[in-house]
Amino acid sequence: MNLESEKKRWDEEVVKPVVEKFKERKDEFTTPSGIPIPRAAIPGSADYMEQLGFPGEYPFTRGVQPTMYRSRFWTMRQYAGFASAEESNRRYRYLLEQGQTGLSVAFDLPTQIGYDADDSMAMGEVGKVGVSISSLRDMETLFAGIPLEKVSTSMTINSPAAILLAMYIAVGKKQGVSPRLLRGTIQNDILKEYVARGTYIFPPKPSLRLITDIFKYCESEVPNWNTISISGYHIREAGSTAVQEVAFTLANAIAYVQAAIDTGQQVDQFASQLSFFFAAHNDFLEEIAKFRAARRLWARIMRERFGAADPKSWMLRFHTQTGGSTLTAQQPENNIVRVAIQALAAVLGGTQSLHTNSKDEALWLPTEKSVRTALRTQQIIAYESGVADTIDPMGGSYVIEHLTDEIERRVMEYIKKIDDLGGALAAIEKGFMQNEIQDSAYRFQKDVENKAQLVVGVNAFQSNDTSDLEQLRVDPAIEQQQRVRLAELRANRDQAKVNELLGHLESTAKASENLMPLFITCVENEITLGEICGVLRTVWGEYQPPVWG
Q: What is the DSSP string of 465-491?
A: PPP--------THHHHHHHHHHHHHHH
Which pLDDT score, from 0 to 100, does residue 6 have? 86
Classify burial at 19, counting beta carbons within 10 Å of its beta carbon; exposed 0-12, middle 13-18, buried 19 or more: middle
At 194-245, the pLDDT tens digits run 999 999 999 999 999 999 999 999 999 999 999 999 999 999 999 999 999 9
Q: Name the DSSP class of 326.
A: G
Which pLDDT score, from 0 to 100, does residue 142 have? 98
Whether 385 and 73 have beta carbons less than 8 Å apart is answered as no
pLDDT of residue 1 exceeding 70:
no
At 307-320, the pLDDT tens digits run 999 999 999 999 99
What does the mean pLDDT of the chain come to? 95
At 32-86, the pLDDT tens digits run 989 999 888 877 666 667 778 899 999 999 999 999 999 999 999 999 999 999 9
Q: How confident is the model at residue 480 (pLDDT cuts 50, 70, 90)?
A: very high
At 176-200, the pLDDT tens digits run 999 999 999 999 999 999 999 999 9
Which pLDDT score, from 0 to 100, does residue 347 have? 98
Axis crossing angle, helix 516-524 with helix 495-510, rounded to the nearest 10 = 170
Which pLDDT score, from 0 to 100, does residue 41 have? 85
At 389-401, the pLDDT tens digits run 999 999 999 999 9
Residues 6+ apart with CB under 8 A from 505: 515, 518, 522, 532, 535, 536
Geometric angle at alpha carbon 80, from 215 and 229, rounded to 5°: 25
pLDDT of residue 454 exceeding 80:
yes
Helix (H) or strand (E) holding 448: helix 432-449
Rg over alpha carbons for the chain, rounded to the nearest Å, is: 23
Which pLDDT score, from 0 to 100, does residue 137 have? 98
Whether 532 and 519 have beta carbons less than 8 Å apart is answered as yes
Which pLDDT score, from 0 to 100, does residue 467 have? 65
Q: Cα(298)–Cα(173) distance, rounded to whole angstroms?
A: 35
pLDDT of residue 339 exceeding 80:
yes
In a 13 Å sphere around the CA of 345, the CA atoms on its Cβ side amount to 26
Alpha helices in 238-349 (DSSP H): 242-262, 267-270, 284-300, 311-314, 334-349
Q: Cα(189)–Cα(157) distance, rounded to whole angstroms?
A: 8
Classify burial at 124, counting beta carbons within 10 Å of its beta carbon; exposed 0-12, middle 13-18, buried 19 or more: exposed
Instruction: Name residue 35's amino acid.
Output: I
The distance in angstroms from the start CA to the end CA of the chain is 55
Which pLDDT score, from 0 to 100, does residue 25 have? 84
Q: How confident is the model at residue 152 (pLDDT cuts 50, 70, 90)?
A: very high
Which pLDDT score, from 0 to 100, does residue 473 have? 84
C-alpha separations of 153 from 66, 150, 306 in Å: 24, 10, 29
Which pLDDT score, from 0 to 100, does residue 548 have? 61
pLDDT of residue 418 exceeding 90:
yes
At 365-411, the pLDDT tens digits run 899 999 999 999 999 999 999 999 999 999 999 999 999 999 999 99
Instruction: Count other Cβ atoms within 10 Å, centred on residue 514.
Output: 18
Residues 6+ apart with CB under 8 A from 426: none
pLDDT of residue 496 exceeding 70:
yes
pLDDT of residue 413 exceeding 60:
yes
Q: Cα(499)–Cα(522) distance, rounded to whole angstroms?
A: 10
Higher-confidence residue of 524 and 28: namely 524
Q: What pTM value is reported for the model?
A: 0.94
Q: Cα(228)–Cα(273) distance, rounded to whole angstroms?
A: 7
Q: Cα(294)–Cα(274) distance, rounded to whole angstroms?
A: 14
In whole angstroms, what separates CA 71 from the centre of its chain?
23
Number of residues written out for the chain: 549
Q: Cα(352)–Cα(101) distance, rounded to whole angstroms?
A: 12
* SS3 category, 508: helix
Letter string b/e over residues 326-337, b meaning 16 or more CB atoms within 10 A of that residue's CB: bbbebbbebbbe
Q: Assess whether the previous peptide bond of 517 is cis (omega < 30° from 0).
A: no
pLDDT of residue 549 exceeding 70:
no
